[in-house]
Amino acid sequence: MSIADQIKVVEFLEQPLPPQEFTTMLELSKKYQTAIALDESVATLTKLETCYHQGWRGIYVVKPAIAGSPQKLRQLCQEYQLDIVFSSVLETEIGRQGILKLAKELNLTRPLGFSVNQWFKEN
């Protein structure tokens, strides 16, 4: 992470350690300028909320198609003012449209991680 801090071109590192190393990631997020984004640690909304209550105020990479209730996700994002990136898990077109609608409602400021369409043929 010190190299990322020196070159200043890395927006964030996506979950550099496994979920059981949460405390270490929290410490690293305070020690370095380069942001860390939780991913596997926040696979469900319950896990996301747990990380928030344990002090995480960094970036959350959430896969809305598998995280849980879209209504609960909306509520958490609004209530906690989360810095969030929505990411794909190869959801259907209908699922993707729902996620994009939610992203627009939430006024997300970070780009979406949805660069997977090129791998599929249109039906």
CA distance 55 to 106: 22
Residue 120: inside a domain, yes or no?
no
Q: Which residues have C-beta within 8 Å of that of residue 53, sequence separation ≥ 6?
A: none
Q: What is the CATH number of the domain that holds 8?
A: 3.20.20.120
**Enclosing domain of residue 24:** 2-111
Residue 34: inside a domain, yes or no?
yes
The edge-to-edge listing of strands for the beta sheet with 35-38 is 12-14, 35-38, 59-62, 83-86
pLDDT at position 111: 82
H or E stretch at 13: strand 12-14
State the pTM of this model: 0.88
pLDDT at position 121: 62
Residue recorded with tokens 């849980």: 68
How many domains does one find in the chain? 1
Residue 79: inside a domain, yes or no?
yes
Q: What digits encode the pLDDT tens for the residues 81-118?
A: 999 999 988 888 898 899 999 999 999 888 888 765 55
